[in-house]
Chains A and B, each alone.
Chain A
């Protein structure tokens, strides 16, 4: 086979793209592009005037733009329910821009965060209808991305459900991370729906002693090593994991370095 042929076939793909995946991905691309927050287009960031900002940051699936209605809803945006909502926006950023008034009313909630929370609520409903009221522990926004915290017993079931759920189709796992919060260990995944354009964040918590979570490998093969890494560095046991061993540290290593109480002299 000649190289010319090879080249031709490849460039053809570029041009006309396989029918299904092509259109799907283009659709996803369009929705994603349409919803991008143009960072350059938001001047004077320090001022708490969120109404001016383009809404629906990471909410490509939202059928209607959330800007017009989100601020009017004006929920009292409980700060503890929204950990990502920047508290009295970046004190030193404000200070750099202008002499900050000593006391300031908490800024109105960012429409992007509100839009994210709306989606999180929708996701909660999908989960609750399938797995029961107790399966969702918290909804909110993680820096303008919808966030839902799931009970650890339902972790694997919920992720598998959302992977095939016709409304969500969260089939591409972009990130998995574990964090030691001293009282508990939190595992977070960021999921992308290639077809529908959703991008959101799911979480679950486990206690530090006997940390244990169901494994997600059967739904997303790519978390195999991520879970091994979390097991290795944070000491979370993943049940039903096909091959749970240390991955970064050597087998005889004691302790879990990413835990906050880890000391290398132990």
Chain B
């Protein structure tokens, strides 16, 4: 009688594993089909479109002001930035002048929104990697930010706050003071996160030297935002193609060094610090009164032609491309969605990695599915 072990031919074959579309660490409805050779990823194929609502098509039947609430639902974590990106393109097309107070309010809410979005990006990334507490911690500050934005816009997530030519509501009494009070608290908390997370050896070992790419690759993939800056390349549209009043503020553009997942995480922390700086300066400089909406025609008709402007969204370059035939509705609206573009590099990053790194790499790209699917 031969041993059971001798005769066993261990079968080797590649395995297809389906991740998502409802997997919690995909941050929405994102499906990833992975071909595995034991623990190693041979191939990965993202499948998207589960949340496709046809925003671009819907916009063709909407007036410009009516499109704004739709942009809230793209990257729902940074709706203020989406609002602004659309309004700015229309404003550039109309060559509008924006009142000072409105510009300041815009910058304040945008940067607060950016902090909120980065907080959640960090928190959920840590949650993906198995650290529960930071995710719960970040909701404390995020709640305060959401409260502030709620007070000024009337909504917690889908703000619909910007208008072509300015903003919808002026700051309620005492609001700016509450922002001023919030900032020192936020600064302390950022330091705390830095200690708590960056100082966590397990986390650092888990993300260092994983998902590395260089600047050239990032540029060929059209990456933007933190995904591009993590390679050490300084490219921030707030500086490189200044818009609004960002040229008046003093802030740094942090860049990474190795282009790995850790750098991408850490840049979130550093950028929050810079956003706090910007809000501090904006709150100090804001005129105490004044118009919040410029001289905008009752019916907004964009002159015939085509327009593209991009802003630095919280996930990268967020741009709106408008083709107008002179009517009050766009002939074609195309959204340059940073999450959509950034996600494309995923299969390349995953190839040859171990299965356990999948979530670490995907989480660091920091996508929002509402934006990926449009």
In this assembly, does A125 line the interface, its C-beta being within 8 Å of a C-beta of chain B? Answer: no
What is the CA–CA distance of A233 and B53 in the complex, to the nearest angstrom? 12
Asked if A194 and B235 make an inter-chain contact with CB atoms under 8 angstroms apart, the answer reads: yes
Please name all residues of chain B whose beta carbon is closer than 8 Å to the beta carbon of A83 when the two chains form the complex: 304-306
What is the CA–CA distance of A95 and B332 in the complex, to the nearest angstrom? 26
Please name all residues of chain B whose beta carbon is closer than 8 Å to the beta carbon of A266 when the two chains form the complex: none
In this assembly, does B252 line the interface, its C-beta being within 8 Å of a C-beta of chain A? Answer: yes
Asked if B221 and A17 make an inter-chain contact with CB atoms under 8 angstroms apart, the answer reads: no
Which residues B254-286 have CB closer than 8 A to chain A? 254-257, 262-263, 266, 270
In the complex, which residue of chain B has the Cβ closest to the Cβ of A232?
B49
Among A3, A97, A201, residue most surrounded by chain B Cβ atoms (within 10 Å): A3
What is the CA–CA distance of A193 and B199 in the complex, to the nearest angstrom? 38
Please name all residues of chain B whose beta carbon is closer than 8 Å to the beta carbon of A164 when the two chains form the complex: none
Q: In the complex, which of the residues B204, B219, B295, B373 contacts A3, with contact meaning CB atoms closer than 8 Å?
A: B204
Asked if A14 and B199 make an inter-chain contact with CB atoms under 8 angstroms apart, the answer reads: no
In this assembly, does B232 line the interface, its C-beta being within 8 Å of a C-beta of chain A? Answer: yes
Asked if A222 and B223 make an inter-chain contact with CB atoms under 8 angstroms apart, the answer reads: yes
Q: In the complex, which of the residues B56, B234, B340 contacts A225, with contact meaning CB atoms closer than 8 Å?
A: B340
Please name all residues of chain A whose beta carbon is closer than 8 Å to the beta carbon of B304 when the two chains form the complex: 83, 86-87
In this assembly, does B240 line the interface, its C-beta being within 8 Å of a C-beta of chain A? Answer: yes
In this assembly, does B10 line the interface, its C-beta being within 8 Å of a C-beta of chain A? Answer: no
Chain A, residues 86-126, CB within 8 Å of chain B (1/0): the string is 11011111011100000000000000000000000000000
Please name all residues of chain A whose beta carbon is closer than 8 Å to the beta carbon of B217 when the two chains form the complex: 221
Asked if B373 and A13 make an inter-chain contact with CB atoms under 8 angstroms apart, the answer reads: no
Which stretch in B73-81, B90-98, B121-129 binds the other chain?
A: B90-98
Q: In the complex, which of the residues B199, B317, B340, B343 contacts A174, with contact meaning CB atoms closer than 8 Å?
A: B317
Asked if B262 and A6 make an inter-chain contact with CB atoms under 8 angstroms apart, the answer reads: yes
Asked if B257 and A21 make an inter-chain contact with CB atoms under 8 angstroms apart, the answer reads: no
Q: In the complex, which of the residues B95, B198, B219, B373 contacts A90, with contact meaning CB atoms closer than 8 Å?
A: B95
Please name all residues of chain A whose beta carbon is closer than 8 Å to the beta carbon of B343 when the two chains form the complex: 225
In the complex, which residue of chain A has the Cβ closest to the Cβ of B325?
A181
In this assembly, does B63 line the interface, its C-beta being within 8 Å of a C-beta of chain A? Answer: no
In this assembly, does B180 line the interface, its C-beta being within 8 Å of a C-beta of chain A? Answer: no
What is the CA–CA distance of A178 and B334 in the complex, to the nearest angstrom? 8
What is the CA–CA distance of A246 and B242 in the complex, to the nearest angstrom? 36
In this assembly, does A84 line the interface, its C-beta being within 8 Å of a C-beta of chain B? Answer: yes
Which stretch in A24-32, A128-136, A151-159 binds the other chain?
A: A24-32
Sorting the interface of chain A by its residue count into under 10, 10 to 19, 20 to 34 or 35 or more gives: 35 or more
Asked if B222 and A33 make an inter-chain contact with CB atoms under 8 angstroms apart, the answer reads: no
What is the CA–CA distance of A87 and B302 in the complex, to the nearest angstrom? 11
CB distance from B328 to the nearest CB of A (A): 10
7 examples of A-B residue contacts, CB within 8 angstroms: A40-B97, A40-B103, A83-B304, A90-B297, A96-B298, A179-B331, A221-B344
**Besides A21-B234, A90-B303, 13 other A-B contacts (C-beta < 8 A):** A6-B262, A22-B232, A32-B240, A36-B241, A45-B95, A83-B306, A172-B222, A221-B345, A223-B222, A233-B57, A248-B49, A248-B52, A248-B374
* Residues of B bordering A, CB below 8 Å: 48-49, 52, 54, 56-57, 91-98, 103, 194-195, 198-201, 204, 208, 215, 217, 219-224, 232-235, 239-242, 245, 247, 252-257, 262-263, 266, 270, 295, 297-299, 301, 303-308, 310, 317, 319, 321, 323, 326, 331-332, 334, 336, 340-341, 343-345, 373-374
* Residues of A bordering B, CB below 8 Å: 1, 3, 6-7, 9-10, 12-14, 17-18, 21-22, 25-26, 28-29, 32-33, 36, 39-40, 42-43, 45, 83-87, 89-93, 95-97, 142-143, 145, 171-175, 177-180, 188, 190, 194, 199, 201, 220-226, 233, 246-250, 257-258
Q: Which 9 residue pairs spanning A and B have beta carbons closest together?
A: A222-B222, A84-B305, A177-B334, A86-B303, A92-B297, A3-B199, A222-B221, A248-B52, A25-B234
